[in-house]
Amino acid sequence: MKLYRTEKDARDQAPENNDTLKANNEALQVEIRSLKELLIEAQNGIEVARRNHSNQNHLKVKKLELECLGLEKKLADFGDKMEKQMEEINDLNGELSVKNGLIDTLKGEMSSLHKEMEMLMRQNQELDAKLRIAESERDQVRSDINPLRRLEQLAAPGSPRSSMDVMESRLIREVGHTSKQLEVLAKTHALSQSEKEQLADSTRRLTTELNLSLRGIMEILETIAIKTGVAANVNAHDVTLEVAIKELEKLCSALLNEYESLKREKDVNAAELKATVDQLVTLKSQTERARDQCRNATESLSMVEGELEVTRSALTKTRQEQALLEKRLQSYDEFELPKYREQCVTLQESVKTLEQELEERENRIVGYKNELAKMRMHCTQLEENATKTSVDSRTLHEEIVQLRTAKQDLLKMLEKQENLSVEASRRLEDAKQQLAQAERTKQAVEENMSKEVRTLHLANSELRSQLAAASSGKNTNEDRMARLQTNLRYVEQSNEELLKKLQAKDATYSALLRERELLAVEKQTLERELADGQGSIKSLEAEVARLKRADIHARRGHDGAEHLQAKIDSLSSMNIFLKSQIESKETTVRDLEDKLRHQDGAIRQAYADCELQHQKIKKREMVISRVLKRLENINAVAGLGFDEPESAMDENARF
């Protein structure tokens, strides 16, 4: 710095120094204004950058909102698919319950078919026994008529006695009438033989149908063994229908248990799938949040870097200005130095604050970079978890597809069983019709046989009485006594036969009573099943009402109405099915009641026949006792005439 030696020199140089200082001051003020303008421009640039950053953030936020909406739609679609799958599972459960009910009905029908077949075989045996009895009675009648024919051949046609000729002609007419009756009886016997052949054909047809049903059951067992790998413990050559049905029931129960286990596994897999889906949704939301945070961090980092560049440029400018000011200060006067030094101090303080802000922002940038690295690692982990959950969902989907195929196979097998049950029910109806027709023909044959036997017995008794009356004029009392003893023996034999018939009627009566008790027990079981079915219908109706209320309360929209309609349709179909089952059971109960009424009538008829036979036996015993008394009187009064024995013979003939 230049030093003045004297005051005068200083005074001389003062105006010049003032002018230079003013000029320097003005130059500094201009520079300060330029610096202020630069600072204002920098602030404006920072505000513009912030505005652009906010606009970019707004656009990114809109994009993220759109992406979130898309993800929400996808999640809603996925939830709808899951609900549809759950509805399908519920439908499968309903179908499975219906098929179980059909299997139970099939078992009941098969058991009833066995009972009907046993009843048919018993009735066929009874018909055979009755036919054998009728044949024996016919043979007996023929054996009784053979002596009459011999008498007809030995009779003298030219007898002088007119009474004997009339008697012989009458006997010849009676013999012709009895021969005609025998021909009619032979025709009825032939008819019974044809009916017997028809019954044998029906039994053969039923056996062939049973063999066909057995073959169908064996085919079903083979298909089940091929598809499931579970072999049946049945020999195809030495198998019966009951064993095949039991084995089919075992396999069906095993398949149902397997289906239940698959269903449980499917439910577990569905729950796991739902949990994985929820985890996937949470992971997606976390990834979206992490991505948003990464974007925000990168944007804030770019903003901070821009601000840092601006502050660095401002710092370089201020340092350059400081250097210029220091250079200028060296040339300035001592009077202006304090002001400029103060300005320099303020500038240095501002530079220090800017450096501190720069360090703080650099530290923030380092923290943001670390957080960004952590976010990226978290995003990679979330993506790996998402890939794992997608793989698990694919495997679960494949398992669901396998379960659906297994369900279709089971439905096909159940349809085959339904067809077999329908065929068995049709065959059962045919067998019932054939049984009814056989019963009608049996009743007609029995009525005809009983009528013919009665008429033949009456004709035989009349012929015997007439022969006894005709021979009474020729023979002595001893001959009459022998004849009456033979008649007595014949009456005793007929009495024994009637007792045997009465015992047979009692046996048939007891068999009919046992069958009636069995039918009554079956009727009670069917009534209990009918009551159970009605109770189940009431419970289903209550469940339908409850589900209606619950669904109406739970869902008020269009989807809820459709869901409710679907449930109502399924429950109405189930109700219709149960009503049809109840109607079929009611028809079977009515049929059983008709059978019971018919059997009651048959029992009453058999009881009435037994009573008639018993009355006839009593009458015959009374007549025999009278005849014996008359014979004693005849032996006591021998040779007094033939009026009293003839009256006895007339009583025998009348009997």
* Residue 550: band (very low, low, confident or very high) from pLDDT cuts 50, 70, 90: low
Token pair in block for residue 570: 């399924």
Q: Which tens digits make up the pLDDT trace of 183-200?
A: 665 555 554 556 556 666
CATH number of domain containing 644: 1.10.287.1490
* Residue 644: band (very low, low, confident or very high) from pLDDT cuts 50, 70, 90: very low
Which has more confidence, 606 or 1? 606
Token pair in block for residue 54: 């906010």
State how far the Cα of 507 lies from the Cα of 510, in Å rounded to an integer: 5
Among 30, 62, 77, the domain-final residue is 77
Among 192, 207, 203, 205, smallest CA distance to 120 is for 203
At 148 the pLDDT is: 45
Q: Which tens digits make up the pLDDT trace of 82-101?
A: 677 667 666 766 666 665 66
What sign results for the dihedral spanned by CA atoms 266, 268, 269, 274? positive
pLDDT at 329 over 70: no
pLDDT at 172 over 60: no
- By residue count, the chain amounts to 655
State how far the Cα of 441 lies from the Cα of 322, in Å rounded to an integer: 138
pLDDT at 161 over 50: no
Please answer whether residues 290 and 378 qualify as being in contact, where contact means their C-beta atoms are separated by less than 8 angstroms. Answer: yes
Q: Which tens digits make up the pLDDT trace of 440-470?
A: 766 766 676 667 667 666 766 666 666 666 5
pLDDT at 179 over 50: yes
Look at residue 556 and tell me if it is in a domain: yes
pLDDT at 20 over 50: yes
Q: Which tens digits make up the pLDDT trace of 254-265?
A: 766 776 776 777
At 653 the pLDDT is: 42
At 447 the pLDDT is: 75
DSSP secondary structure of 344-363: HHHHHHHHHHHHHHHHHHHH
- Within 13 Å, how many C-alpha atoms sit on residue 544's CB side? 17
pTM of the model: 0.26
pLDDT at 59 over 60: yes
C-alpha dist (Å) from residue 361 to 47, 293, 505, 626: 18, 19, 121, 149
Task: Name the residue with tokens 């009355």.
Answer: 615
Among 48, 77, 106, the domain-final residue is 77
Q: What is the mean pLDDT of the chain?
A: 64
Interval 482-490 mean pLDDT: 66
Q: Picking from 159-173, 485-499, 502-516, which range would have the lowest pLDDT averaged per residue?
A: 159-173
State how far the Cα of 133 lies from the Cα of 450, in Å rounded to an integer: 11
At 1 the pLDDT is: 38
* H/E element, 453: helix 337-472
pLDDT at 475 over 60: no
Among 180, 203, 65, 197, smallest CA distance to 121 is for 203
- Here the contacts of 159-164 (C-beta below 8 Å, separation 24 or greater) are 164/470
Q: Which tens digits make up the pLDDT trace of 621-631?
A: 777 777 777 76
3-state secondary structure of 284: helix
Look at residue 213 and tell me if it is in a domain: no
What sign results for the dihedral spanned by CA atoms 92, 94, 96, 99? negative
Please answer whether residues 143 and 184 qualify as being in contact, where contact means their C-beta atoms are separated by less than 8 angstroms. Answer: no
Please answer whether residues 242 and 114 qualify as being in contact, where contact means their C-beta atoms are separated by less than 8 angstroms. Answer: yes
Cα 593–chain centre separation: 30
Among 42, 59, 50, smallest CA distance to 302 is for 50
Q: Picking from 7-21, 24-38, 289-303, 414-428, which range would have the lowest pLDDT averaged per residue?
A: 7-21
pLDDT at 528 over 70: yes
State how far the Cα of 126 lies from the Cα of 512, in Å rounded to an integer: 12
Q: How many domains does the chain divide into?
A: 2
- State the residue range of the domain holding 63: 1-77
Among 34, 59, 77, the domain-final residue is 77
Does residue 159 come out as left (phi exceeding 0), alpha (psi in the -120 to 50 range) or beta? beta
- Here the contacts of 111-115 (C-beta below 8 Å, separation 24 or greater) are 112/428, 112/588, 113/424, 113/427, 113/428, 113/431, 114/241, 114/242
Please answer whether residues 652 and 468 qualify as being in contact, where contact means their C-beta atoms are separated by less than 8 angstroms. Answer: yes
At 357 the pLDDT is: 73
Interval 143-157 mean pLDDT: 48
Q: Cite the beta strand spans of 405-556 per DSSP E.
A: none
Please answer whether residues 648 and 626 qualify as being in contact, where contact means their C-beta atoms are separated by less than 8 angstroms. Answer: yes
At 412 the pLDDT is: 73
At 493 the pLDDT is: 72
Interval 261-282 mean pLDDT: 71
* Residue 364: band (very low, low, confident or very high) from pLDDT cuts 50, 70, 90: confident
Q: Which tens digits make up the pLDDT trace of 573-583?
A: 766 776 676 67
* Residue 405: band (very low, low, confident or very high) from pLDDT cuts 50, 70, 90: confident
Interval 547-572 mean pLDDT: 59
